[in-house]
Structure 1
Amino acid sequence: MTAKQFASAGDLADRAVSFTEIGPDLWAFTAEGDPNSGVIIGDDCVMVIEAQATPRLASKVIEKVRSVTDKPITHLVLTHYHAVRVLGASAYGAQQVIMSEKARSMVAERGQEDWDSEFARFPRLFQGHESIPGLTWPTTTFNDRMTVYLGNRRVDLIFLGRAHTAGDIVVYVPDANVMFTGDIVEYKSACYCGDGHYHDWPATLERIRRFQLDSIAPGRGDALVGPEMVNSALDSTADFLRSSYSPAARVALRGGSLKEAWDAVRETCDPKFSDFAIYEHCLPFNVARAYDEALDIDTPRIWTAERDRRMWDALQS
């Protein structure tokens, strides 16, 4: 059998962008399974959630913002440290760039390795990478909770628990009961779990569910408008996590190999999720992390471009 092309290296087709209003002056920028961004329009200024991978991609978000408001973009919130989310930050000229304290520490610990790794995995998302000035550092950090006022509009930034990474935050707009979840929640897209915490993630999803939200802008996939769609995405995300972790953990705990874990996860996940965006891309990284976590490796090992290839080739051969 011919090995599959590495990660998303062969995915070069442009994606159609959608810009969906998910509450009063709240917008979700989505692109058929590519990383989403969010927009919150306040009384006198704008907050953007997620920068995109490059300034060139960020300009597409800015173009959509300018189609609905001419207020200045003053705040940029980054829900976690991954390169495809943060390296376009310079395009916005925001006065404040906000991350959790933990996410900032992960930029310091593994930001450059993550950039190099993701650049090889997602070449299409890094078109125009020459204009990235360097790693993205926040101007402002917090631990558990922070409130930002855009005029009178209140925006709560909250750490609800480890999930996609150790430093994920959500962005909640109480006047509209709408949340921007980053990659904690996905819709018809695989969860990337290579830097995740399988044991903690389901409880974090349930804390989101307790908000009884009217809409969610997920990390990838269509905007989730209405409680039925919100709950469906929470259920599907939880099922994906369970289906990815349990078969791998059983293999790891009986002393089986990573390749055996890969086969077991495919048997469970392929029938349910093979049509999800970036499914084939994520699966090897998810299996590797599930295997490690089952063996009580609590902190995800740092992915490097070299480690990516070695693991991919071993599983796909």
Structure 2
Amino acid sequence: MAKAFASQGDLTEKKTTFIEVGPGIYAFTAEGDPNSGVIIGDETVMVVEAQATPRLAQKVIDCIRSVTDKPISHVVLTHYHAVRVLGASAFGALQVIMSEKARSMVAERGQEDWDSEFGRFPRLFQGHESIPGLTWPTTTFNDRMSVYLGKRRIDIMQLGRAHTAGDAVVHVPDANVMFTGDIVEYHSACYCGDGHFHDWPATLKRIRAFDLDAIAPGRGDALIGKPMVNAALDATKDFVRSTYLSAARVALRGGTLKQAWDAVRAECDPKFANFAIYEHCLPFNVARAYDEAQGIDTPRIWTAERDRQMWAALQG
């Protein structure tokens, strides 16, 4: 029997957690669904990642209201993917922050990504009727910027390409806590369909150099303590390298995409098959790795039609 397309068969509601990862800093996690973060300042609150719809964003807001009544002033979006950004309107924030590159990707491929992800993740788009349209930032930056919530400084930085070309991380220096977006995952597959395999390990190395006390990853449990942080960085690097090298060996000798798929499965299944969204991500990851090995630097845009064609060729 053919596998259900992407995550269409995953209709089970996930249990959410809201855990403090540093003083006044929280991670909202949901068993492998996209995470969000909360940073409480002297007078206002910053949210990291907006969820896929205003309905899902309300779950984050409810958690915030369980710990503070301070208004939400900023939403930071680490990249452009629909499941991360389309709930932003629920927060009513004065500033919505993205890297300049991420904003350009909204302009270039934001609608196609929305249409694509809507087909892949039906459970995450419950209440999609309330999405007012594409999410555009009010503030952009190149390289880095700092936001002050009173005395609390928050550094928003581009450390290199990885999950996308516009990735940003959010660092709270007083607690040495970082929100990495999907550059780092924990017991969840990395989605590499818009990724940059060559650059990703170096970006992880730059994150490791912060010697962090905690990370809130893009998916999976909050990582508290240096041993857990380093284990997640190691596993993410292994996932990315194992996927790319297996596919690249096939592509560089003139093999087919299907042969690259078989090679990646042979290498990655024994190590990662129990990770969240592994089967969902694998075809997209192999297709992108195959392209990058052939010198295609800018990931091709995924459309709902391309998604289905690729899935039928590999997972069908």
TM-score range, shorter chain: over 0.9
Q: Where does 1:1-317 land on structure 2 (aligned, <5 Å)?
A: 2-317=1-316
1:308 aligned partner, one-letter code = D
- Looking at structure 2, the residues matched to 168 and 152 of structure 1 have their Cα atoms a distance apart, in angstroms, of 26
Q: CA deviation at 1:259?
A: 0.3
CA distance in 1, matches of 2:278, 2:242: 13
Aligned partner of residue 216 in structure 1, secondary structure: strand
Q: SS at 1:165's partner residue? A: coil
Using the alignment, how far apart are the partners of 2:112 and 2:274 within structure 1?
29
Q: TM-score, normalised by structure 1?
A: 0.99
- 1: CA distance, partners of 2:282 / 2:232: 19
Aligned equivalents of 2:313 and 2:239: distance in 1?
A: 23
Runs of 4+ in 1 over 6 A off after TM superposition: none
Q: Is the partner of 2:250 in helix, strand or coil?
A: helix
Distance 1:122 1:165 in 2: 19
Letter in 1 for 2:26: W
Q: Deviations over 1:201-253 (max 9, x none)?
A: 00000000000000000000000000000000000000000111011000000
CA distance in structure 2 between the partners assigned to 1:302 and 1:156 by the alignment = 30
Measured in 2, the distance between the counterparts of 1:247 and 1:156 equals 36
Matched residue type, 1:34: D
CA distance in 2, matches of 1:129, 1:63: 19
Give the whole-Å Cα distance in 2 for the aligned partners of 1:264 and 1:128.
39
- Number of aligned residue pairs: 316
Aligned-residue RMSD, C-alpha: 0.4
Taking the aligned partners of 2:269 and 2:4, their CA distance within structure 1 comes to 18
TM-score, with structure 2 as normaliser: 1.00
Mapped partners of 1:41, 1:55: distance in 2: 21
Query: Deviation digits for residues 83-107 of structure 1, max 9, x if unmatched?
Result: 0000000000000000000000000
SS at match of 1:265: helix
Q: What letter is aligned with 2:84?
A: R
SS of the residue corresponding to residue 21 of structure 1 reads strand
In the aligned structure 2, how far is the partner of 1:316 from the partner of 1:162? 28
Q: CA deviation at 1:3?
A: 1.7
CA distance in 1, matches of 2:3, 2:246: 22
**Share of identical aligned residues, percent?**
81
2:309 maps to amino acid: R
2-structure distance, mates of 1:209, 1:247: 25
* Amino acid across the alignment from 1:67: S
| Cα distance between partner residues in 2 of 1:143 and 1:257 | 38
- Helix, strand or coil: the match of 1:233? helix
1:294 Cα offset (Å): 0.1
Give the whole-Å Cα distance in 1 for the aligned partners of 2:187 and 2:165: 23
1:179 partner letter: M
Q: Give me the whole-angstrom Cα distance separating, in 2, the residues matched to 1:316 and 1:173.
A: 41
Report the residue type matching 1:53 in the other structure: A
Q: Which residue identity does 1:86 align to in structure 2?
A: V
